Structure 1
Amino acid sequence: MPRLPRNTMPRDVWVLSLVALLVAIGFGVLVPVLPVFARSFKVTSFQVGAVVSAFALARLLMGPFCGRLNRAIGERVALGIGIGVVALSSAGAGLSQSYLQLLVLRGIGGLGSAMFSVASMSLLLASASPLQRGRASALYSGGFLIGGMAGPAVGGLLAAVSIRAPFFFYAGTLVLAGGAGLLLLTHRDLTPTGETKPEAFSFADAWGHARYQVACAANFATGWQSQGARSTLVPILVVEVLDRPTSWTGIAFAVAAVVQALVLQPAGRLVDVWGRRPMLITGLVTCALSSALIPFAPNIGWLVVILCAFSAGSAIMSPAPTALVGDVIGSNGGTPVAVFQMSSDLGSIIGPLAAGALADHFPLPVAFGIGAALMAGIGCWSALALRHHGRSSDQ
């Protein structure tokens, strides 16, 4: 196995990971609460899915404008403004008196989230060198995951006090995240060691590379299954099928997040050492098999085990798509990064709607199985499309 050089991870990678942690703690608080809160307005499973999708739909619509907007005002400033918009919309959602108000406010939050996510990903790719991309992506994702470990459990406890309280908690963590980004991120443009000054790199240039196509497809499938069947239907499965309180959803997601966090850092290193392809394929197949088993869990214990397997698979594959994008575009940001983010948003829009609609008309295994087949299919395509590519862009 080749050894990686002992180079120090840039400061901005650590700062962005802190921002991700604070954002994820708040977002995780909503995971066990949002579907149940939407359900309290006496709506269908499809409409519950629409609330989850509204956030991603707004992100998708905003995505095409983020590249130029972020470069015009500066990605650090765009990150702070975007997080501020999400904070205000979250507080407003907590005050919602109708399903329509909740739906609209969640959509407004998605606009700010698009600004934040494109800016943070651009800064991450600009900060890490080619041989750091897997580990930098894992560290950044680890911030989200550690927040995901604490968030759902906290959300379950807050929901026992008030179903609205998690929305205000989320707004508070977002204020802290925006402040950290504005105060701690560097003001200068970063060019990773060993790379030249970034040049214009269009979406058409990026799309001509199989690695970029695979990264977008993997992002789409992950958005579909994670935000679709997993986030939309598991909370309902716990309450309505397994007959457990909402707090158990938070506990199950928190335990699964611990597993994902433990696997993520070693996986990021292996993405840099073994290569993007084997880790991506292994993770996609693991996610496909485990998610297909979720609706067959006979009790909460087995559900936790299966969710842990899904989380491990997600950790194995998640650093690879970001590293693949970095291999193609280098330290350039802009539209290619926005489209990469949008591919996940598109999956996060279609997935919850499809899962909700299928759950309204078919048994739960159908909704989970379609997403699982999608992930498995993209895993097989990745095996073929990436068979000639090495560890990084210079190979």
Structure 2
Amino acid sequence: MNKNSMNKTPIFALKLATFVIALGYSLIIPVMPFYMKNLGAGGKELGWLTAIYALTQTLCAPFWGVLSDRIGRKPIISIGMLGYTISLLLFGLASSFWTLFIARALSGILSSATSVASLAYVGDSSTEDERSKNMGQLGAAMSVGVMLGPLFGGILAGYSLALPFFTGAGISFIAFLLIVTVLPESIERSGYPHKKDSFDFLALKSMLLGPAGVILILIFIVNFCQTGLQGITGLYVVDKFGFTTGQVGVVWMVVAGVLIVVQGFFTGPLENKMGDKLLILTGIFCKALVAFAMVLTSGFISVLVVFGLFAVSSALTVPTLNASLSKAANQRKGILMGFASTAGNLSKVIAPLLAGYLYERSIELPYITMGAIALIGTIICFIWKKTVR
């Protein structure tokens, strides 16, 4: 595919695929407590369902990345979407906890395929000037899915608990058909004629010990702080300020709205103007400020302002880090995007556990800790920026 003329149809197909994954993930949020209750399961089982999703994504992402480098992006994206359709159908048909567990594991395995290959596809098909913009638009599509999923899930569940899953499966299958019919393969047209050559571990080691390794560390730190803050804030604002469920919902709606706007319209132009390293540095430093500022919040308005900044920092850093990794990857975009997914998902397993433990010691401690970790990331990014220059 000509990078200078990447048409809108492939990007739309990738946006839809990313949107469906996020929608399917968040669709079950209002439904799952009732599902668990009907199946006689409790908090421990719900914890396992959450953990198995992140764990399977962590383990499988590098495999899908390697495979997409060898056989192409389109087959991996297609396999992921079709398998994701099946996993949502299994959720809708589940009659036992173990069916849910298997479906959630399958969902994690296959959603990582689509996510990794989609990011690699954008890296293959975009010019350096457009890469951050296109990565940001994928992130915006994911944010829309995360925002709409609970809303649709709650409405559809009023008719049937299984209906949200069947609806998500239908949307997923439509995305699969669109990918199969209109999405061209990116590797064959990107100047990579030897995609089936044997895997070069020395080349991968060289990349991991260079800029790509630094970017992966920053991806882990950013996702670690982001997940840690997201996981504990709902409880924090209820315990400290007595927020109602409606107020908590407004906070997350504002976060999703800011993410959509900034990722969709501002991240790309800012990256072109400031450069990727300065933009990442700014975003990580903002995340540190957010963490420390949460300790100083005094009510609903101040929480909205602080978490609006939180959304801005996330919108600036995540797509720009992915774009920077894609630039460093050359012919190994798939495997490095797989490692990026692993780093992000591993943080989603560790960060909530750490934040929960710290919260039991002091409700302010998770924010102080995440802020300190974000500052470490800021220092690493500053050294990286100065070294490369």
Return the TM-score normalized by structure 2: 0.82
More deviation, 130-139/89-98: 89-98
Where do residues 134-149 of structure 1 align in structure 2 (5 Å cutoff)?
A: 134-149=132-147
Aligned to 1:260: 259
Aligned to 1:16: 14
What is the CA distance between 1:111 and its match in structure 2? 0.7
Distance 1:368 1:160, change over 3 A: farther
The superposition leaves residues 118-149 of structure 1 with CA deviations (integer Å, 9 ceiling, x where unpaired) of 21112111101222222221222222223334
What is the CA distance between 1:113 and its match in structure 2? 1.5
What is the CA distance between 1:299 and its match in structure 2? 4.8
Confirm or deny: 8 A CA contact 1:32 1:250 kept in the other structure: no
More deviation, 58-67/100-109: 100-109
Aligned to 1:377: 376
Where do residues 331-342 of structure 1 align in structure 2 (5 Å cutoff)?
A: 332-342=332-342
Aligned to 1:351: 351
Distance 1:378 1:323, change over 3 A: same
Where do residues 87-236 of structure 1 align in structure 2 (5 Å cutoff)?
A: 87-93=85-91, 102-155=100-153, 157-158=155-156, 166-187=164-185, 189-191=187-189, 202-209=203-210, 211-230=211-230, 232-236=231-235
Distance 1:294 1:85, change over 3 A: farther
Distance 1:128 1:325, change over 3 A: same
Confirm or deny: 8 A CA contact 1:153 1:250 kept in the other structure: no
Distance across 2 between alignment mates of 1:98 and 1:357: 31
The superposition leaves residues 257-289 of structure 1 with CA deviations (integer Å, 9 ceiling, x where unpaired) of 111222222122221232111110111121222
Distance across 2 between alignment mates of 1:157 and 1:91: 18
Amino acid at match of 1:380: I
What is the CA distance between 1:254 and its match in structure 2? 2.2
More deviation, 200-209/272-281: 200-209
What is the CA distance between 1:345 and its match in structure 2? 1.4
Distance 1:98 1:243, change over 3 A: farther
Distance 1:365 1:163, change over 3 A: farther
Where do residues 239-388 of structure 1 align in structure 2 (5 Å cutoff)?
A: 242=242, 244-245=244-245, 249-264=248-263, 265-294=265-294, 299-330=299-330, 332-359=332-359, 361-388=360-387
Distance across 1 between alignment mates of 2:284 and 2:136: 16
Q: For 1:189, what is the secondary structure of its paired residue?
A: coil
What is the CA distance between 1:239 and its match in structure 2? 6.6
Distance 1:24 1:295, change over 3 A: farther
Distance across 1 between alignment mates of 2:165 and 2:23: 12
Distance across 1 between alignment mates of 2:46 and 2:229: 12
Confirm or deny: 8 A CA contact 1:13 1:128 kept in the other structure: no
Amino acid at match of 2:208: W
Distance 1:267 1:198, change over 3 A: farther
Q: For 2:364, what is the secondary structure of its paired residue?
A: helix
Amino acid at match of 2:279: M
Amino acid at match of 2:283: G
Distance 1:37 1:253, change over 3 A: farther
Confirm or deny: 8 A CA contact 1:294 1:303 kept in the other structure: yes
Distance across 2 between alignment mates of 1:288 and 1:35: 33
Distance across 1 between alignment mates of 2:165 and 2:377: 35
Distance across 2 between alignment mates of 1:38 and 1:365: 31
Return the TM-score normalized by structure 1: 0.81
Distance 1:183 1:354, change over 3 A: farther
Distance across 1 between alignment mates of 2:238 and 2:162: 18
The superposition leaves residues 95-131 of structure 1 with CA deviations (integer Å, 9 ceiling, x where unpaired) of 6566665444322211111211221112111101222
Distance 1:371 1:131, change over 3 A: same
Confirm or deny: 8 A CA contact 2:78 2:114 kept in the other structure: yes
Distance 1:83 1:227, change over 3 A: farther
Aligned to 1:70: 68
Distance 1:41 1:373, change over 3 A: farther
Q: For 1:364, what is the secondary structure of its paired residue?
A: coil
Confirm or deny: 8 A CA contact 1:156 1:250 kept in the other structure: no
Distance across 1 between alignment mates of 2:300 and 2:27: 20
Amino acid at match of 2:75: V
Amino acid at match of 2:253: A
What is the CA distance between 1:75 and its match in structure 2? 2.1
Confirm or deny: 8 A CA contact 1:26 1:173 kept in the other structure: no
Distance across 2 between alignment mates of 1:162 and 1:368: 39
Confirm or deny: 8 A CA contact 2:72 2:186 kept in the other structure: no
Identity percentage of aligned residues: 22
Amino acid at match of 1:269: P
Confirm or deny: 8 A CA contact 1:234 1:249 kept in the other structure: no
What is the CA distance between 1:164 and its match in structure 2? 6.2
Distance across 2 between alignment mates of 1:42 and 1:162: 21
